[in-house]
Amino acid sequence: MPQAACGRTGKMRHTVPTASLRTVIRMKPFPVSPAPAGAAAACALCQTAGGTTVWRGSDFRLVRAAEPALPAFYRVIWQQHVAEFTDLTALQRLSCIDAVVLVEQTLRAQMQPDKINLGSLGNVVPHLHWHMVARWQWDAFWPQSPWSAPQRPVDDARLQKVREHLPALDEAMQHAFAARFGASRPEP
């Protein structure tokens, strides 16, 4: 539970309990299960960018997915081939979820969607990645998940307006990531 404290202004502040945070940071990751031999060589996210690269760091990268019916769809992809979120250290997890939150904030500020969907599945590609998707009530899959069967035909006129904003959205993501995590690294 967050601790609440009142400053001189009387405004409620929330702080993370320091003892809890120390415990989390000292937690060791689960023993990483070694990937089967050749897993990285056969992994789509080790062999390809997984979308249009928007920002790239040493630990993770941000890409925009090629999903025509859901254009404002980004992925944070861990650079190392690990399957589970608990394969990361506590600090790595904080950094990764901070990136996910930054994408959500930027999507909300730039696109004003009806909802943001966040997800980490990896059943098909067991390489740690998070999905961040801006959703609207008019989109073809609403109110189901982005991976469900379409609920209605695509609305091309509304999609086109979203597509037209993608260059500015990518730029806003790049600026936000560079400000938080440093300059983007070149492709290897």
- By CB under 5 A, name the binding residues for Zn ion: 43, 45-46, 81, 127
User: Are the C-beta atoms of 63 and 75 separated by less than 8 Å?
Assistant: yes
Q: Using CB atoms, what's the residue nearest to Zn ion? A: 43
Nearer Cβ to Zn ion, position 130 or 136? 130
Closest among 150, 130, 140 to 73, alpha carbons compared: 130
Nearer Cβ to Zn ion, position 43 or 172? 43
Nearer Cβ to Zn ion, position 43 or 166? 43
Nearer Cβ to Zn ion, position 46 or 69? 46
Beta bridge partners of 14: 4
**Least CB distance to Zn ion at residue 87 (A):** 12
Nearer Cβ to Zn ion, position 77 or 159? 77
**Least CB distance to Zn ion at residue 50 (A):** 9
Q: How far is CA 77 from CA 11, 88, 133, 187, in A?
A: 38, 13, 14, 14
**Least CB distance to Zn ion at residue 180 (A):** 24
**Least CB distance to Zn ion at residue 35 (A):** 8
**Least CB distance to Zn ion at residue 20 (A):** 32
Count H helices and E strands in the chain, helices first: 5, 7
| Strand segments (E) across the chain | 3-6, 12-15, 52-56, 60-64, 73-78, 115-119, 129-135
Amino acid in position 96: C
